[in-house]
Structure 1
Amino acid sequence: MTKKHSFYGILLAIMCTCALDSCTILMEHSVSKELICPPPPTQNCYPQRYIGNSIDTSSINKERFLKIERVNGLDNTIIDEWNISFLDKDNIWTTASAGGQQVLRKIDIEQETDIKEIIPQQYEESGAIGFLTGNSQYTLAAYLPGTAFSGDAGIYLTQSKLDEITIKKEIPPSELFHWDSHPSLSPNGKILFFSSDRNNTLRGTELYVALKGENWSKAYNCGRFINSNCDELSPFITKTGHTLLFSSSGHNTIGGYDIFSAEFNPELLEKGILADDSLMIENAFGRPQNIGSPINTIYDELFPSSPSPRTDTLLYYSSNQYAPNQNYAFDMFVIHPAYSYDSSIFIAKSDIIKSAFKRADKLDPRELITVEGKIVDEKNRKPVRGAEVTSLTYPNNEIIDQQFTDTIGQYKIKVQINKPVQITAESDKLFFNTITATFSAKDSNSFISEPLTLPAILSMRINFPLGEYQKPYIYVLDSNGFETTIQWKDAIIRLASNLLKFEKNIGSVSLTGHTDDIGSDAFNMDLGKKRANFIIQTLVKLGVPSTLLQAESEGEHVLPSKRNGESLDLFRKRCRRVELIKEIK
């Protein structure tokens, strides 16, 4: 039996749930799903077998490894859990189904694998709602009005307030008498992907895309690279804005529905939509790649999502792998980083020379444009004069151009088009900061709207195991507590380079260690001091004079404010930090 016939009873059953189809809303669970929903169409669906690489989740002799677990609280044996929608840090929702009804709930994530609280959604509208996307200011959802024709789900603009979602109106990419569902908005809110059966029932469900300007454009089929003769479902645009994850029963699968990843060019996609050019839209996508086992199994994996730009290290998804032949078999899973400690802390002054940025060779002048921007003090927003600004290729960190800001903090610098570029800046009185952006040819001579801010206080979130102070985890965290691609050694080398460059202007640098709220006050004061001293010892190894550096501790006395809906695990990760302040001569 092919996947199409083995899962389609669930697909058009769950897709009637998943798809918000009214045929399931009032039916008892005991009724056969084949009777609740129409039979599957006859499709020429013959996916190839995936024989590619697997994701390495082994932990043997590793400082950091990936681990797959079911999400505690979203593994209920009487509910099908479909997806998690991350609108904002404190606005997270999950869509599920039980007893023939769609269930939308707000959740509070305790840590990556645990749900702290589930708040059922209350709304006045009759019908079914789910699969939220966007943010708290602009939220879309799939919705099936109670009076609609069977299967006529659409995409609706909603209003999100606290624990309530209110339906406002259907947006134009939706079409009457078609099933349009699983919306996913790009981070900038301009590009919408969704799944639909509008094209040809013999091809099942396919992915479509629309563009938001003053008004929404019509919807365009994503083309033959993305859509197969089988079903494509549950698109998700990652935080990078140029990677599309989705589920498919076609292409090359391990079995059932697998999760795929495809890169796309947002600028080319937008241009194709504005030009009404289907071929240009199709060519904006790269070839989909199966993300591999053990995420994908011989069963069904659907609805990928993540709050992190690094979906290779934090990804939520739904799967029926634990009970594929049972009702209510779908649970939420997560792949996330787990750690041992970094057993190698050797670092030397020569590492600064090795890490120095190299100038990029053989850049095509036709791929370079000039952009303008401004550098300001993060605290008082005043312009920073004489700051050094560097544009770098990403992720190779090769220099494209270097300039200095003028008397009003502005700069002009060359960048590469159609590829990610980092713009980094630093100064003697402040520390450094970096932004990553992708520019197109039309951005030539444009002004970057948001100034790059340089901090007077630098927070280094080098993450340590509980109670540890000299064996950090490999990767530093960002201000939200998520793992970055920057290793702790590289972060300290970057800091040392900045201090050595402006050494003559620096009177002293104070380093203050902070801890989370676990442990006694005395223990945490001592632990904070030890962590600050660990950074100092490493900086001295890199050539920074010890006379410039002073260690202090606040322990758990200066905790950051806990954000609404923030997990306790993320909050405590943000607490553990070492803050640096320069005193200028």
Structure 2
Amino acid sequence: MIKNFCVLFLMSVISTLGLGQSQDKNILAAVNSQYDEINPVLSPDGQKLYFTRRNHPSNIGGIRDEGDIWVSALTDDHQWSEPQNVKELNNRNWNGVIGFEDNGETIILHNHYKEENGLVRTQGISKAKKTRKGWSAPQDVQIPYFKNLSDNPGGYLSKDGQVLVLSLESYGTRGAEDIYVCLRKPDGSWADPKNLGDVINTKFQEFTPYISEDNKTLYFASNGHGGKGSSDIFVSERLDNTWQNWSRPQALQALNTKGRETGYRPYDDFALYASTINSDGYSDIRFYTEKPIDSIMMAQPQMEQEPVVQITEVTEVPEATANEVTMYGKVLNKVNSQSINAIVTISGKELEFKKEVTTAAENGYYSVNIPASGKYQVRVDAPGYISQRENLEVNTGEMKLVEINYDLQPISVGTKVNLKNVLFEQSKPTILESSFQELDLVVDLMRQNPDMKIRLEGHTDNRGIPKYNVKLSKARVEAVKEYLVDHGIASKRISGKGYGGSKPIADNDDPMTRKLNRRVEFTITKN
């Protein structure tokens, strides 16, 4: 049986705690995908990993579905199997696991499931019972004065089943999501949610809470207590029985990064959580431990494999004709992965074709049908963000879906942008004609922001004579500056420097990655 290990996180050792290097690349290879994986929860026997996956084509609501529950099983060689959608626990709303009761025979879930005229009328908490065929239909759990206006559900049922901690945007919320506690009454019913107070909750977001086995140590994600990135994991100790007095939250420095960390849950000898760092821009499930993977003892499977649902075809995208392909995806803020109201423009290079679509306000989703054969230019624009452009070539008679997601960089002083499509003749400062459209984006950016100043930086790989590389990088910076000035940007708004091969961003020994070091970047110095 896997047990919580809150003793590893005593407040006296918070600042020195280290969970070692991430060892999830192999054991979780089948779990993580190009989609968002969040909210990891282990079954009580440690043999099943439940998590929420956003916008997957096999979700109940298709690629517009903000979250379905998926499950992966632990194999004999300590790997996690290919996940399957747990269809009976999902609907078109956000679905996630909170925890378990009765040694795993009852599963506790976010939200209500009962529909009226095809819609779920209220939010809340539900539960389902394990059956021979899977899980029963979820039934509502009654909690008085329950209200949640948040799009980021999160919660945990304590080991003894007496405490429910939840992240809610509800009565008495300080700002966005706050953390609340519901205590079970002697008759088995739940008391109304109680805000944990100002030490825990801020005017920003506090979410995905977890309470230790003794119901005294609280772990949660927040972007309101400082930290390294858009949200970090924090820990606090309950000081009395009022649930209002807490120690000052401390960051788990060993786990937090400049990305977004959520859904932290500790177990014996390891921890599970979600992070956007070293992923595809969306959250991946992470596994951390100080010990070698093979040394962690896990019980062997004793129960039958949970029934799963076969993946179905995508039905929630615009229907494409025989000669069309559906291009779809999301436009998100590169810093915090929040959705952006943007315009996606697709233009045909060799045929008269142009379409503009706007992203959905609630999740940054876009979708558009394009001819199934052709070369296209895609441009993504949003106020307050640096535009993106890329080329797309489609030539297929079978493929019907093309997913392309975009992360836009907010405009702010210090922002650095790699002009990855600005190319030069070999060993020369001559700009290739294919680079002009990328440079035109910079021209547009500076025209739209007349007070903006930038610093251009030129880089090469480390081959050749260093002195010559510095000279070449300087010449390329001057060539880019000349292009911008020729297109109406004042020279005094542009500074520049060539660094040669002194600042690599990739391995120079590998021919495939060496080319990444040959680049021109710019940094916003004033806006």
TM-score (norm 1): 0.42
TM-score (norm 2): 0.46
